[in-house]
Amino acid sequence: MKGAVYHGPRDIRIEDVPEPTPQPGRLLIEVSRNGICGSDLHTYVGASKGGATMHVPGIVLGHEFAGTVRDVGDGIDDIAVGTHVAIAPIEWCGSCYSCTHSWPQMCRKLGLYGGYRLPLHGGLAPLVSVSRRSAFEVPEGLGVIEAALAEPMAVAVHAVRRAPNLLGANVMVLGAGPIGLGVLQSAIAAGARTTIVTEISEARRRAAARLGAGAIVDPSADDPRTAVRDLTGHGVDVVFETTANDAALSQGIRSLRPRGTLVSVAGWGELARVDMGVSMAKEIDIRFTMTYEPAIDYPATLSMLASGAFDTDVLISDHIPLDRVIEDGLEELLHHADQHVKILVDPS
Ligand SMILES: [Zn+2]
Ligand SMILES: [Zn+2]
């Protein structure tokens, strides 16, 4: 079978890889779709951000995937061949401090399918072997193709779970990429009263509007604090930061009400500049999120996807075949990210 294999920066090849066979405790998944993530772009260009240097060469990329169980290994009797599943693409040791507190996403030995830190093949191939505990059944009402959005949307759901209660809250989301838009929809589902989104790309601002954002600001043209003042008077209760951008972070902190909370969702590759003076004067809280807790966030995200809390038509901007993953996927996102939300790859 063909897979998209990482060999190094700017060196991802579509080449023959051996078909996986069912192993004890593991499932063989026929991949329906695999989404391209911002971190895949960092890996592709070899930026330090996203841990490109942590990628194992010779491994099939891709960590945002769903599919159909094609075979089960010895010892598995609780899932049938033919079941649609979304994959939480992390591997954890099960015995370190974080694992024993049910926070596998912070495992000391954490690895990701797609070759991040561990030689685990990812979803950019027709077949992939995953551990049983990583697979979550896709509920009625959600297609196995759209289920590929479970991974990025679980990041959004986890971020909202890490935030204070959003019922009736004024919320600001910095950035309207896939994660920012997912956070917007999760915040609306959690009962946010006002939502303000900042985004420099026009296409992504349009997506935010279609998803019901209360106010949308282009921070390169207007100061978001004007919208915040008009809509809330005193500042927002919660800001979600999804951009890893100092200017946005600063606008977010300045948009908070006294004792507001900033939730940092983005993956930062460099040190951030934080206005400690303003943060202190308003006694703000800053919280961080690290991907998701699969056992909690995946079932929640999948039922939200099935119920329509996430608009998959807006979130999925293109479907491409595996042999176009470089030109129409990675290169396209590198040069025209502002025209896309999520590109899904069909590896069949
Ligand atoms: Zn991702
Ligand atoms: Zn662990």
Query: Rounded to the nearest whole angstrom, what is the distance from the C-alpha of residue 105 to the centroid of ligand 1?
Result: 13
Per-position DSSP letters for 289-319, written without gaps between them: --S--HHHHHHHHHHHHHHTSS-HHHHEEEE
Rounded distance from Cα 111 to ligand 2 centre (Å) = 10
Q: What is the pLDDT of residues 107-154, one digit of tens each?
A: 999 999 999 999 999 999 999 999 999 999 999 999 999 999 999 999
Ligand nearest to the CA of 116: 1
Backbone angles phi, psi at 98, to 5 degrees: -65, -45
- Let me know if 39 is exposed, middle or buried by CB neighbors in 10 A (0-12, 13-18, 19+): buried
pLDDT per residue, tens digit, the chain (348 aa), is 999 999 999 999 999 999 999 899 999 999 999 999 988 998 898 875 544 468 899 999 999 999 999 999 999 999 999 999 999 999 999 999 999 999 999 999 999 999 999 999 999 999 999 999 999 999 999 999 999 999 999 999 999 999 999 999 999 999 999 999 999 999 999 999 999 999 999 999 999 999 999 999 999 999 999 999 999 999 999 999 999 999 999 999 999 999 999 999 999 888 999 999 999 999 999 999 999 999 999 999 999 999 999 999 999 999 999 999 999 999 999 999 888 999 999 999
Q: Which ligand is the nearest neighbour of the Cα of 267?
A: 1
Assigned token pair, 111 = 């690895």
- Residue 112 and residue 124: Cα distance in Å, rounded? 13
C-beta of residue 249 within 8 angstroms of C-beta of residue 273: yes
* d(CA 299, ligand 1 centre) in Å: 18
The bound ligand whose nearest atom lies closest to the alpha carbon of 154 is 1
| Architecture of domain 2-137+311-346 in this structure | Alpha-Beta Complex (3.90)
- Cβ–Cβ under 8 Å, residues 75 and 27: no
Q: Which two tokens stand for residue 306?
A: 């099935």
230-284 pLDDT per residue, tens? 999 999 999 999 999 999 999 999 999 999 999 999 998 889 999 999 999 999 9
Residues forming beta bridges with residue 130, ordered by sequence position: 27
Ligand 2 centroid to Cα of residue 91, in Å, is 9
Which ligand is closest to the CA of 112, given by its number? Answer: 1
* pLDDT at residue 48, as a whole number: 54
What is the domain partition of the chain in residue ranges? 2-137+311-346, 154-288
Q: Check: CATH 3.20.20.150 for 154-288?
A: no
Whole-number Å distance, alpha carbon 152 to ligand 1 midpoint, is 6
Strand 316-321 and strand 342-346: the pairing is parallel
Is residue 136 within 8 Å of residue 55, measured between CB atoms?
A: no
User: Which bound ligand lies closest to the C-alpha atom of 104?
Assistant: 2
- In angstroms, the CA 204 to CA 177 distance is 7
Paired tokens of 3: 């897979």
CB contact at 8 A, 59 and 75: no
Contacts of 131 (CB under 8 A, 6+ apart): 25, 26, 27, 91
Rounded distance from Cα 118 to ligand 2 centre (Å)? 14
Residue 55, helix vs strand vs coil: strand
Tell which residue, 71, 62, 65, 56, has the closest CA to residue 19. Answer: 71
- How far apart are the CA of 151 and the centre of ligand 1, in A? 7
What was the pLDDT predicted at 39?
A: 87
The rounded Å distance from CA 11 to ligand 1 centre is: 19
